Chain A
Amino acid sequence: MPIIEAHGLTKIYRVTQKKEGFLRAVRSLFRREYKEVRAVDNVSFAIEPGEMVAFLGPNGAGKTTTLKMLSGLIYPTQGSAQVLGFTPWDRADEFRRRFSLVMGQKNQLWWDLPAADSFQLHREIYSLSRAQFTRTLGELTELFGVSKLTDQPVRELSLGERMKMELIAALLHQPQLLLLDEPTIGLDVVAQATIQRCLKDYNVRYGVTMLLTSHYMRDVEALCARVLVISHGRVIYDGPLARISEQFGKSKLVKLHFENDGVPTDLESFGEVTHSEGPVVDLKVERTRVPEVLGAILERYTVVDMSVQDPPLDQVIARVFEEARVQHEASSQSS
Chain B
Amino acid sequence: MKPVASPHDVDDAVEERGRETEEDVRSIKEARIVRIARKYGNILRVSLIERLTYRGDFFLSTILRFLPMVTTILLWQAIYAGAGEKPIAGFSLHEMIAYLLLVHISRMFSSMPGLAAGIARDIRDGQLKRYLLQPIDMLGYLASYRGAHKIAYIATSSLPYALLFFLCREYFDRLPDLLTLAAYLCSLFLAFAVGFFFEASIGMIGFWFLEVTSLLYVVNTLNFFVSGQLFPLDLLPPFWAAVLKAMPFQYMAYFPAAVFLGKIQGADLVRGLLAEFVWGVVFIALARWLYRLGLKRYSAFGG
Known: A97-B135, A136-B1. A120 touches B302 (CB 8 A): no
A87 at the interface (CB under 8 A from B): no
Q: How far is A129 from B127 in the complex, measured between Cα atoms in Å?
A: 27
Are B35 and A89 in contact, with the CB atoms below 8 A? no
B247 at the interface (CB under 8 A from A): no
B132 at the interface (CB under 8 A from A): yes
A10 to chain B, nearest CB (A): 13
Q: How far is A175 from B130 in the complex, measured between Cα atoms in Å?
A: 15
B136 at the interface (CB under 8 A from A): yes
Which residues of the other chain, A, contact B12 by a CB distance below 8 angstroms?
94
Which residues of the other chain, A, contact B46 by a CB distance below 8 angstroms?
117, 120-121, 124
Q: B1, B49, B135, B302: which contacts A74 (Cβ < 8 A)?
A: B302
CB nearest neighbor in B for A98: B8
Which residues of the other chain, B, contact A106 by a CB distance below 8 angstroms?
126-127, 129
Which residues of the other chain, B, contact A103 by a CB distance below 8 angstroms?
129
1/0 per residue, CB under 8 A from B, across A94-132: the answer is: 101110110100101010110001001100111111001
Q: A13, A96, A97: which contacts B6 (Cβ < 8 A)?
A: A97
Q: Besides the contacts A73-B129, A73-B132, A136-B1, what 17 more A-B pairs have beta carbons closer than 8 Å? A: A65-B303, A72-B132, A74-B300, A75-B300, A96-B134, A97-B7, A106-B127, A108-B130, A113-B53, A124-B46, A125-B141, A129-B7, A132-B6, A139-B1, A174-B3, A176-B6, A207-B3
Which residues of the other chain, B, contact A97 by a CB distance below 8 angstroms?
6-8, 135
Q: How large is the interface on A (under 10, 10 to 19, 20 to 34, 35 or more residues)?
A: 35 or more
Known: A110-B50, A120-B46, A139-B1. A75 touches B133 (CB 8 A): no
Within 8 A of A (CB), among B272-303: 298-303
Q: B2, B7, B39: which contacts A124 (Cβ < 8 A)?
A: B39
Are B50 and A117 in contact, with the CB atoms below 8 A? yes
Which residues of the other chain, B, contact A75 by a CB distance below 8 angstroms?
299-300
Are A125 and B49 in contact, with the CB atoms below 8 A? no
B112 at the interface (CB under 8 A from A): no
Which residues of the other chain, B, contact A71 by a CB distance below 8 angstroms?
133
A256 at the interface (CB under 8 A from B): no
Number of A-B contacts (CB under 8 A): 95
Which residues of the other chain, A, contact B127 by a CB distance below 8 angstroms?
106
Are B43 and A124 in contact, with the CB atoms below 8 A? yes
Which residues of the other chain, B, contact A93 by a CB distance below 8 angstroms?
135
- By a beta-carbon cutoff of 8 Å, the part of chain B in contact with chain A is 1-4, 6-8, 11-12, 35, 39, 42-43, 46-47, 49-50, 53, 126-127, 129-130, 132-136, 141, 298-303
Known: A14-B301, A91-B132, A97-B135. A174 touches B1 (CB 8 A): yes
Pick the 4 closest A-B CB pairs, nearest first.
A74-B303, A124-B42, A93-B135, A96-B135
Are A73 and B49 in contact, with the CB atoms below 8 A? no
Show 5 residue pairs from A and B whose CB-CB distance is below 8 angstroms, ordered by the A residue.
A73-B132, A96-B135, A113-B49, A127-B35, A174-B1
Are A125 and B301 in contact, with the CB atoms below 8 A? no
Q: How far is A128 from B6 in the complex, measured between Cα atoms in Å?
A: 9
1/0 per residue, CB under 8 A from B, across A156-180: the answer is: 0000000000000000011110000
Q: How far is A126 from B47 in the complex, measured between Cα atoms in Å?
A: 15
Q: How far is A49 from B1 in the complex, measured between Cα atoms in Å?
A: 17
Which residues of the other chain, A, contact B6 by a CB distance below 8 angstroms?
97-98, 132, 173-174, 176
